[in-house]
Structure 1
């Protein structure tokens, strides 16, 4: 036998062994997949997907345009659970039934929460006199207060469908009302805002589940109207009032001890009263990526509970005999849990604080039962509790960002620990001695860097989808301030709160304020660099696809987690595709008072467009500063010869009554003259104050925005598109497309693409609320004159031509 033949066998065996050792084998893909799934199950990672499926079921339920049949959910759920109980313990059928049951549980929880809330939302803006009891109050700037009021009665007019709870701003100087006081005042009430553009945030959704039926402000200072007797309230209401009184007292003391924005910042960290912080500082915190510090979230709760836990355990450890006889770790966990509970109570039951508290409670209870405190299982348990109690939270950015950051940080720490455990220890020769302090600082800064990087990347997709922006220098800002927050602000604040009952809190609160003053300086410095990167409105599938990818990356430990990478890449491809979509030609706000043309550049009919609406337009569509309208007094824009009784400088008839033929003729001539001027400057509005604005697009489409309803008929004769919220009719006899107040109320904000045509039947009109009939949007369909609900605006383009 030759030498080559003698070596052939060993060489083949060695080659096969090398291929197996390198991870390559001829094992079928299905077998590999099953092996990986079995490994995930053996490590308990299947449990982590329970809240994912429950949240997914709730999210689908909330995203539907109409209420799904409740009997269908509550019929399918028992059937699914019954089939699950008789299915074989192993197999794909059982896995499918379990997943389907969890989805139905999420949908059922959403149905129950919606039924339990049943918030009455105001149908349309109104000015009325409100009599109600103050639930709580929040400072809203110097001398201003926001009151959360339970409405007892309305007067002049009496509302047919009054909201039960409202939030009203009192700007006039007055003695602040306490919780439990009954007040009276003339107020402007408005329903919560709908989406500023199709696909953007519907503020009415959050208001519905917060129990807020209207928002507004008082005309002048509210007046006292008596005090509700204590025996008329049950124990829970009295306890809630006492807690809010304590919260207000603590916040007032902090702001009195620490002046300026630093004091307001400190009060926000402790009690979650954020509105006392100036707009300048709030904007700087937002642009620099430090706004998360203001909210009582997982960071604040973890630092407070962790500092208390470590401090109490270290203090008890000084007593050797006691430490040997008693489990000081568990005693410290109980103390930290009590402290976290108090922190949650004085936070005013904020939603972010609720999530943080539940997560911290699960972790501390895990210490009591000798389980790992920091684990993805504990995060999953916290998410399950929140989703079953308040499933609507799954739709909000706060829930999504907090759990994404927490899961990513724990998964990153677990991945790093596994890698380190497989490495042989190689002691660093200079790890001791003089370099030890520097190495400690290096490890600390490296940990802060890794934490900030993982947290920032994991929440980026949610910032892109909900806020349409990214903070370019957020990592730098967080690296600069996190040592201040962790080692100065939170310890000083914790000690100050513990000493406040004894009147010894002032030095520590001032130290806390000094640290926050440094944080504010860092925020302003970083925000001055810019870095507020706009990414625009995302594709409807961007968030679901990216979220699934992130969940796979964080919740799995085998190579299956790598499946999340192509999903995230697909999501960013969808984002790129959304950015390439053409802009609409015309935008109309849901109340019709703000209209913008976007070609050749943005222009609005308001000299100072409402920031709340236009800022959302700017971020979603990446718009530049708008061109201001050309505003002319009546005598300049009207033709010569207009005498007494003509147009006044405010654009209204001097006699204030109905138009006669001569007056209509003068308005028609003035509007024609304005259209002629608008044609020379495409897209820019020519306006007569308090009356109308006109513009002409590149396609030659004449637009009229009418504020005085008496001019709507004239505008219909001269324009192709008329936006008239106060028009006394719903259609133009001339054939012009009329967008009336009734239409806007049902349809919400509009995006209009002219498609290069002057024929309105060729336009594409996208309405924010088209085809939507859900409990949080149903107030739009209520007609207070008839007391009945109308049908929603059709969603299809063919039906939309019938508006």
Structure 2
């Protein structure tokens, strides 16, 4: 083991974000939120372990040194995540609310039902005290007429709000956790027309208004879905995209072209870098006396900063900017830009700023693709440094490079996409081969030139060229999505499968030497576990509004339309392509589980057998005379959350059991003071006690 570690010298830094991520992941699997004492102990433990690692290095004990460093990084990751969760603490609505909603518009997008959705801050709710009012709310507009929302404008309406919902099934995606880190304390809808209360303040939301103005300019110049696509990739505004187009892009594995991520940032900055370098090289004097590579990289970095601001600065865009910034700074320093060290440094920065990003599909997929590409092309490059342009020059080499890049990136991201979204794009490689070159050679350069020429009013021609490229990409997406068998589905894997698969892949890529192939074993084991996964026989929604029972034909749903989001996620997690209406047709009366909705139906529920389960969406004490059966009503489901029942195992699993007591699902924790505030309170109480004397 000592010799194996010594052989890794020079290859150890990429493991730093891996062990930091293990600590972050460990924090999110805890059943109980760490208290202030533990959050104080974690940084102390990190420092102590770091000191022990330094001492082991002084005594030439590489095995001990590596162990202490790994433990220090794990402890540091747990501390980062815990402090981040405490630092973003904000009030969460504790009950269903109907009444006046007022706030300032800081975000606009589309809901799953294709309704315009606003994110508001500086919120006021009825007579609610400011200390209990959520910092941000998100509300969908289902009414007609009213004020046309503008960025930074203060608006009001009358709406229905509720706390962010928990997992639709135990162990599933936890929207409450996602909303907690966005300081989103309530979500809801309104059917009342929006009313403008005050215009945007002169200095407020300036970047947001510039983004929306840019998006509107593209929508005005390019008709229909083409203009909406242009607004999405330039300003991060997807509010104009239709659901059919979004679905076609997902099925064709082209949805990544919508998110302003590494591909867009890389294409844009790469175009700027090459253009500046060649433009400056026209002058022989400049070429001989100035570091053109460094100057071009600096210019590309400035463009990346501007693009980050105009695109809205989402988590995916921030992650892409960090990656590109690391590469460009390396280029400015005349160092190799695309290395595993650069990827590791970018991951370290992202996890340090936003530890919760580790759980996001965007983080997992983007770094999986980047790591795989850097590793594969490093293996293809001869060790003597010659032939760095492999796999060849000219158009054949470029085509081969494109094919290899698309295949490697697709293979690296496919397991993550399958685990997170339960689908496989069977023709994704074809769609990307036909679309990504157009995005890189036509769309992104034309978008940059359009923005630069807008102040002069000369953007018509580049916008037209951009529109042609986007029309081609949309045509490819629709054609590919329409092919038979374009979309494959898979059931959700066991919780341990994806981490095991990722760690095995990381070992293959990051370990130096033949022992790296030992990482194939956990990958294979993860796939075996995935293949043998079992889905719950019965699922009960946390509202009591929907029940799903597994049948030989697939999951049968108790309702045709209500709880559409929950129904869609259940079917996707089953790997079932059916829609809710089709799944509701599988429901048969007289089974061991009954579902009654509304007070009248619940009140009519008579006696039932001992082995039966009755699910209600109203309080059982008020509406039901059912006796002799297991009853799940809203009062019980508020305590348990969503319920999964495995008949063969005679096992009942609830969301509250799997989630534990955390900031995002326990209001009393969310109102507790942070680490330093808590310590300050204790210190002040201690000083007061000392001043008053022993009594």
Q: The residue matched to 2:605 in structure 1 has which SS?
A: helix
1:189 deviates by 1.2
State how 1:93-172 maps to structure 2 within 5 Å: 93-138=64-109, 145-155=116-126, 161-171=132-142, 172=144
For residues 56 and 112 of structure 2, the distance between their equivalents in structure 1, rounded to whole angstroms, comes to: 61
The aligned residue for residue 693 of structure 2 is none
Paired residue for 2:629, among 736, 746, 751?
736
Paired residue for 1:272, among 236, 247, 251?
236
Aligned-pair RMSD on alpha carbons? 3.0
Task: Sort the Cα spacing of 1:70 and 1:83 in 2 relative to 1 into closer, same or farther, 3 A.
Answer: farther
The aligned residue for residue 666 of structure 2 is 778
For residues 349 and 115 of structure 2, the distance between their equivalents in structure 1, rounded to whole angstroms, comes to: 37
Does residue 542 of structure 2 align to residue 571 of structure 1?
no
Task: Sort the Cα spacing of 1:140 and 1:94 in 2 relative to 1 into closer, same or farther, 3 A.
Answer: closer
The aligned residue for residue 52 of structure 1 is 18
Task: Sort the Cα spacing of 1:368 and 1:684 in 2 relative to 1 into closer, same or farther, 3 A.
Answer: closer
Task: Sort the Cα spacing of 1:422 and 1:561 in 2 relative to 1 into closer, same or farther, 3 A.
Answer: farther
Contact 2:536 2:644 in 1 (8 A): yes
The aligned residue for residue 217 of structure 1 is 189
For residues 20 and 434 of structure 2, the distance between their equivalents in structure 1, rounded to whole angstroms, comes to: 38
Of 488-497 and 342-351, the range deviating more from structure 2: 488-497
1:112 deviates by 1.2
Of 469-478 and 167-176, the range deviating more from structure 2: 167-176
Task: Sort the Cα spacing of 1:629 and 1:505 in 2 relative to 1 into closer, same or farther, 3 A.
Answer: closer
Contact 2:91 2:131 in 1 (8 A): no
Does residue 48 of structure 2 align to residue 79 of structure 1?
yes
1:487 deviates by 1.1
Task: Sort the Cα spacing of 1:282 and 1:702 in 2 relative to 1 into closer, same or farther, 3 A.
Answer: closer
State how 1:15-54 maps to structure 2 within 5 Å: 34-41=2-9, 44-54=10-20
Aligned length, in residue pairs: 659
Measured against aligned partners, the alpha-carbon deviations of 1:726-774 in whole angstroms (never above 9, x if no partner) come to 215399883321111122223222222344xxxxxx9422212325111
Q: The residue matched to 2:33 in structure 1 has which SS?
A: coil
For residues 557 and 495 of structure 1, the distance between their equivalents in structure 2, rounded to whole angstroms, comes to: 44
The aligned residue for residue 193 of structure 1 is 165
Task: Sort the Cα spacing of 1:300 and 1:630 in 2 relative to 1 into closer, same or farther, 3 A.
Answer: closer
Q: TM-score if structure 2 supplies the norm length?
A: 0.88
Contact 1:552 1:560 in 2 (8 A): no
The aligned residue for residue 374 of structure 1 is 338
1:628 deviates by 5.8
1:422 deviates by 8.7
The aligned residue for residue 746 of structure 1 is 639
The aligned residue for residue 310 of structure 1 is 274
For residues 745 and 764 of structure 1, the distance between their equivalents in structure 2, rounded to whole angstroms, comes to: 20
Paired residue for 2:367, among 373, 382, 403?
403
The aligned residue for residue 696 of structure 1 is 590
1:711 deviates by 5.3
Contact 1:140 1:276 in 2 (8 A): no
State how 1:220-619 maps to structure 2 within 5 Å: 220-227=192-199, 238=203, 241-418=205-382, 440-529=394-483, 530-578=485-533, 581=534, 583-601=535-553, 602-619=555-572
For residues 550 and 655 of structure 2, the distance between their equivalents in structure 1, rounded to whole angstroms, comes to: 18
Paired residue for 1:764, among 651, 655, 662?
651
Task: Sort the Cα spacing of 1:593 and 1:261 in 2 relative to 1 into closer, same or farther, 3 A.
Answer: same
- The higher relative CO (CA closer than 8 Å, separation ≥ 6) is in 2
For residues 144 and 608 of structure 1, the distance between their equivalents in structure 2, rounded to whole angstroms, comes to: 17
1:600 deviates by 4.6
**Consecutive unaligned residues in structure 2, runs of 5 or more:** 672-695
Q: The residue matched to 1:342 in structure 2 has which SS?
A: helix
The aligned residue for residue 620 of structure 1 is 573
1:98 deviates by 0.9
Of 314-323 and 622-631, the range deviating more from structure 2: 622-631
Task: Sort the Cα spacing of 1:266 and 1:423 in 2 relative to 1 into closer, same or farther, 3 A.
Answer: closer
For residues 463 and 110 of structure 2, the distance between their equivalents in structure 1, rounded to whole angstroms, comes to: 19
1:604 deviates by 2.1
1:544 deviates by 1.2
Of 110-119 and 192-201, the range deviating more from structure 2: 192-201
Paired residue for 1:715, among 601, 605, 611?
605
Measured against aligned partners, the alpha-carbon deviations of 1:82-135 in whole angstroms (never above 9, x if no partner) come to 333433433222221111111111111101111110032223332221121222
User: Post-superposition, which runs of at least 4 consecutive aligned residues in structure 1 deviate over 6 A?
Assistant: 139-143, 156-160, 422-425, 730-733, 780-783
Measured against aligned partners, the alpha-carbon deviations of 1:415-474 in whole angstroms (never above 9, x if no partner) come to 11036869999x99xx9xxxxxxx722211111111011101111221122112211111
1:627 deviates by 8.5
Measured against aligned partners, the alpha-carbon deviations of 1:67-93 in whole angstroms (never above 9, x if no partner) come to 134423532223323333433433222
For residues 243 and 398 of structure 1, the distance between their equivalents in structure 2, rounded to whole angstroms, comes to: 24
For residues 670 and 512 of structure 2, the distance between their equivalents in structure 1, rounded to whole angstroms, comes to: 52
For residues 441 and 359 of structure 1, the distance between their equivalents in structure 2, rounded to whole angstroms, comes to: 28
1:55 deviates by 1.1
For residues 136 and 367 of structure 2, the distance between their equivalents in structure 1, rounded to whole angstroms, comes to: 30
The aligned residue for residue 64 of structure 1 is 30
For residues 579 and 64 of structure 2, the distance between their equivalents in structure 1, rounded to whole angstroms, comes to: 58
1:49 deviates by 0.4
Contact 2:123 2:137 in 1 (8 A): no
1:362 deviates by 1.0
State how 1:649-660 maps to structure 2 within 5 Å: none
Contact 1:496 1:506 in 2 (8 A): yes
Measured against aligned partners, the alpha-carbon deviations of 1:144-202 in whole angstroms (never above 9, x if no partner) come to 63222114321278899431101112242333233332211101112223222222211
Q: TM-score if structure 1 supplies the norm length?
A: 0.77
| Pair member with larger Rg | 1
Task: Sort the Cα spacing of 1:628 and 1:133 in 2 relative to 1 into closer, same or farther, 3 A.
Answer: closer
1:137 deviates by 3.1
For residues 165 and 779 of structure 1, the distance between their equivalents in structure 2, rounded to whole angstroms, comes to: 16
